[in-house]
Structure 1
């Protein structure tokens, strides 16, 4: 029972890794990660790709949390009869909503990074916000932030060693201290499993 996952580009690669490790018959179809900068466009983009994939798959699921659509994505999923990942955003998928809530309650000025954002920070944050052209805007954008928290998903020591200086560079660009919270990919695996039919989630 082949399943297509219409996925946010920010979680597409980790989702594909999880599916391969678990032996799931899950094909990941990413949408551009920069849609997160225009969440008003996410629901329409998801709907178009779901409709495109339906004729060639037994099942289509949505690899997005709400992601700032304020219910627009839920309306699309309900109308099309497809399931999406639980939660408000991808941070919930990795760290769990309780951990994310605790981090932001303890320090409301917390800026969260995932492995994807660490790798793509110059493109998805610096360039998209124009900080490469107008660095003076940094204080306007990040005046009320007090720390950067990297939710580190990788369990691979070499990959973590590669990402750590990139995370530090990102925090330095914002003029904020860096804190690292290891999460692993278990939360994402559980969330993805919930989208699969039982027989597909339990390969022989």
Structure 2
């Protein structure tokens, strides 16, 4: 399977991978590889996927309008549409949109929660209050999503202002990749945070997609 590049998923998203399924997944570009892996591993040929640019997360107010446009564009073609975003900083607006348009979505406040498992994430919320999270995608795109947008490449002295209240970086690993783990550890060092790795796999994402028929 030819996977899209991380840079493309960040800035452009993913065009429809197929047009023959009964269910369309409208997802975040940061989840594209995981969704494609799950589709291939489980032979979910009834699921088609289109992804919006992952960089929308740096401007969460743009996520809901972008999802609305995607639903309106494709809804006449598919029997069912499922939104593979959590709330993702939209303040409930995305959930309200999906409800109004009769579309279901992944449960949870953000991907860090459903990758870990929403129940487990909620149970750990007090002890993880000062944690900064990265996923496989965000480890690979750390510079594009964190270091450069915050200006830390030009003004490293800003690190304390942005991350002074964090105590640890939690790397939620979807895959058991030593190279990614080493990169994540380096990200923690660059931010001056303790490092913790959790092999979450796909968490609740797999169960959410498996339920779609």
TM-score (norm 1): 0.89
Could you say which residue in structure 2 is the equivalent of 1:84?
105
Once the two structures are TM-superposed, the CA of residue 10 in structure 1 deviates from its matched residue by 1.0
Aligned counterpart, 2:191:
174
1:10 is paired with a residue of what secondary structure? Answer: helix
More divergent stretch after superposition (54-63 vs 167-176): 54-63
Detail structure 1 runs of 4+ shifted over 6 Å in the superposition: none
Aligned residues: 192
3-state SS, counterpart of residue 208 of structure 2: helix
Matches within 5 A, 1:108-187: 108-155=129-176, 160-187=177-204
Residue equivalent to 1:202: none
Q: Equivalents in 2 of 1:23, 1:175: separation in Å? A: 42
Tell which has more relative contact order, 1 or 2 (C-alpha 8 A, sep 6+).
1
CA RMSD of aligned residues (A): 1.4
Task: Note the alpha carbon deviations across 1:17-38, whole angstroms, 9 max, x for none.
Answer: 1112111121111111111111
SS at the partner of 1:148? strand
Residue 3 (1) aligns with residue 23 (2): yes
Per residue, is there more helix in 1 or in 2?
A: 1
Whole-Å separation in 2 of the counterparts to 1:33 and 1:107: 25
TM-score (norm 2): 0.85
Structure 1: runs of 5+ lacking an equivalent: 198-204
Unaligned 5+ segments in structure 2 are 1-20
Aligned to 1:201: none
Matches within 5 A, 1:57-68: 57-68=78-89
Following the alignment from structure 1 to structure 2, what is the Cα–Cα distance between the partners of residues 34 and 47?
17
1:94 — aligned with what? Answer: 115
